[in-house]
Amino acid sequence: MCISVSKVLFPVLGLSGIFCMAGQVLAQPSIGSVSLDSNDSKLLDSIIVMGSGFGSKTQSAPVLFDQVEDAYENGRRNEVYSNVDDGELVIRSSDPTISLWEKSSLAIMIDSGRAPRYPSSQAHYYFEGENNFLGWPNAYGGFETPVDNKKLYISWWYKPKFDPSSYWAFSRETQSGTFSRLEKLLVDGRDVGVFIGIDRDNLINASFPGSNSGALKGQTIRGAESGATVIFPNEGRGGSGSGYESPGSQKYIRIWEDPYGKDGIRLSWTQMHQTGMGVVNWEAKPLNGGDWNHLEVALDTEKGRADFFLNGDNFTGFDFDPSEDFGGQWSPTVALLGLNGKVGKLQEGEIDDIYIDSSLQRVAIGDAANYADLTDYEIQRPTSWSSEKIEFQLVLGQFESRDTLSGLYVYVFDNDGKVNQQGYEICEDCKSPPASTPLIVK
């Protein structure tokens, strides 16, 4: 935006001419008020945001907001996983009354027995092993996606028992003694990892955070409690032979256009890099094993940009040729979400609160007044959206144990992914005006 400034208006500074202000600063969303909806019977459940720069949104609701026990597909509630038995498997089906996912692995379970991400969560997804995932959400048409949507945003929470980037397996011919489950592993008295167990291939599974094969080869590894020892192999393991298996490439998510993965957008995020559209982006950030991690992907095929977030940190991204988008037939969708690797037979994973949309527009709440200071945040579920007004259903998540909404701030992202850098605090005492009573003339 450019404005004309004259010396008459600013005689002291002596300024004149035409000055241009950064478009990004002016274009980012601006919030003027945040209030509770007094017309909502649940009161705290519904929040109204007034402001500008939100942009119009074709569909207010996200494509999918999957809390497992309670899911919303394009704004419509789907209770297919409500009140199911603990351990029930997720079925592959294009029928939304049977499953939310058209194609998933065959061992993803609905879990209601393990500790939830937050107290009110009644269920989440659970899987064991190195290769289990959800895929092709029915809310987005399954294999029959809409045509030529250019944007995709995905947010999900993932709890691996062990950080996939630290997971190793190796043969045990030199083992002496018996290791204790989850005991510390030492090299020359230094703590280098944790013993996980012996898998079905009779390999030792262990977690070695920050280690590479060069630091492990030929080293005598000792159990801190058991005193058991084993020499780490010098060679990689081929097929069923002796040696070691490094973490390799373990995908957290795969995004495809073509259901067969041949044409158009092909994007993957693994524990060591992000690949797709002719780009290999060697950036990595470890997950916190045993904790819930927040993962996000923002994809814009019109601009040719992919961004990746881990626990609130936009830690990497890359540009690509927009012509890689295959026009006239599909839109990018979630083809795989979970863990897809070859190492990790004793791994466990939990997934919850999956949010998928064909727009980068979204609302989040966090506990810092400035976006740059946020360590994490919770993505909300919009129910109405215009350029100047948004209404969303409050999802407290990690903030659920708080006694008050004060100290929580609202952030709005527009369709370019720009966000208000200064959050707007939720006012628990502020309520929107009640709906007017219609005048009936008899």
Partnered with residue 134 across adjacent β-strands are: 337
Residue 158 and residue 262 share a domain: yes
| Among candidate residues 357, 383, 401, the one where a domain is terminated | 357
Amino acid identity of 435? A
- Of the candidates 412, 424, 418, 370, the one whose C-alpha atom is nearest the C-alpha of residue 388 is 412
278: Cα separation from own chain's centroid:
23
Which distant-in-sequence residues (6+ apart) come within 8 Å of 41 by Cβ? Answer: none
User: Is 427 in contact with 374 (CB distance < 8 Å)?
Assistant: no
Residue 144 and residue 97 share a domain: yes
| Among candidate residues 331, 357, 383, the one where a domain is terminated | 357
- Domain membership flag for residue 239: no
Which distant-in-sequence residues (6+ apart) come within 8 Å of 291 by Cβ? Answer: 159
- Domain membership flag for residue 112: yes
Query: What is the structure's pLDDT at 6?
Result: 37
Number of domains in the chain: 3
Residue 298 and residue 270 share a domain: yes
Q: What is the pLDDT of residues 67-119, one digit of tens each?
A: 999 999 999 999 999 989 999 999 999 999 999 999 999 999 999 999 999 99
Query: Of all helices (H) and strands (E), which one includes residue 25?
Result: helix 23-27
| Dist CA 368 CA 185 (whole Å) | 39
Q: Quote the pTM value.
A: 0.90
Query: What is the structure's pLDDT at 18?
Result: 39
Residue 149 and residue 279 share a domain: yes
- Domain membership flag for residue 430: no
| Among candidate residues 357, 388, 407, the one where a domain is terminated | 357
By three-state DSSP, how is residue 230 classified?
strand
Q: Is the dihedral of CA 116, 118, 119, 120 positive or negative?
A: negative
- Domain membership flag for residue 432: no
- Burial class from Cβ neighbours inside 10 Å (0-12, 13-18, 19+) for residue 437 reads exposed
Query: What is the structure's pLDDT at 37?
Result: 83
- Domain membership flag for residue 252: yes
CB neighbour burial string for 173-182, b if at least 16 within 10 angstroms, e if fewer: eeeeeebeee
Q: Which two tokens stand for residue 288?
A: 């916190």
Residue 132 and residue 20 share a domain: no
- Domain membership flag for residue 18: yes
Residue 176 and residue 133 share a domain: no
Query: What is the structure's pLDDT at 275?
Result: 98
Outline where DSSP puts E strands in 147-250.
151-160, 167-170, 184-187, 190-198, 204-207, 220-223, 229-231, 244-245
| Dist CA 155 CA 74 (whole Å) | 16
The beta-carbon contacts of 1-7 under 8 Å, at least 24 apart in sequence, are 1/26
348: Cα separation from own chain's centroid:
18
- Domain membership flag for residue 436: no
Residue 180 and residue 132 share a domain: no
The domain of 155 spans 64-163+248-357
Q: Which two tokens stand for residue 337?
A: 């979400």
CA 101 to each of CA 94, 97, 108, 224, 431: distance values in angstroms, whole numbers, following the listed order: 7, 11, 11, 44, 39
Residue 283 and residue 377 share a domain: no
Tell me the CATH number at 140. Answer: 2.60.120
User: Mean pLDDT over all residues of the chain?
Assistant: 91
pLDDT in tens, the chain (442 residues): 343 333 333 333 344 443 343 333 457 999 999 999 866 544 458 999 999 999 999 999 999 999 999 999 999 999 999 989 999 999 999 999 999 999 999 999 999 999 999 999 999 999 999 999 999 999 999 999 999 999 999 999 999 999 999 999 999 999 999 999 999 999 999 999 999 999 999 999 999 999 999 999 999 999 999 999 999 999 999 877 899 999 999 999 999 999 999 999 999 999 999 999 999 999 999 999 999 999 999 999 999 999 999 999 999 999 999 999 999 999 999 999 999 999 999 999 999 999 999 999 999 999 999 999 998 999 999 999 999 999 999 999 999 999 899 999 999 999 999 999 999 999 877 765 554 434 333 3
Query: What is the structure's pLDDT at 173?
Result: 95
- Domain membership flag for residue 224: yes
By three-state DSSP, how is residue 137 classified?
strand
Residue 407 and residue 296 share a domain: no
Tell me the CATH number at 372. Answer: 2.60.40.10
CA angle, residues 263, 129, 397, in degrees to nearest 5? 85
Determine phi and psi for 398, rounding to 5 degrees: -65, -15
Query: Of all helices (H) and strands (E), which one includes residue 26?
Result: helix 23-27
Query: What is the structure's pLDDT at 430?
Result: 72
By three-state DSSP, how is residue 217 classified?
coil
Residue 76 and residue 204 share a domain: no
CA 375 to each of CA 92, 164, 318, 423: distance values in angstroms, whole numbers, following the listed order: 36, 22, 22, 14
Residue 350 and residue 257 share a domain: yes
Residue 385 and residue 402 share a domain: yes
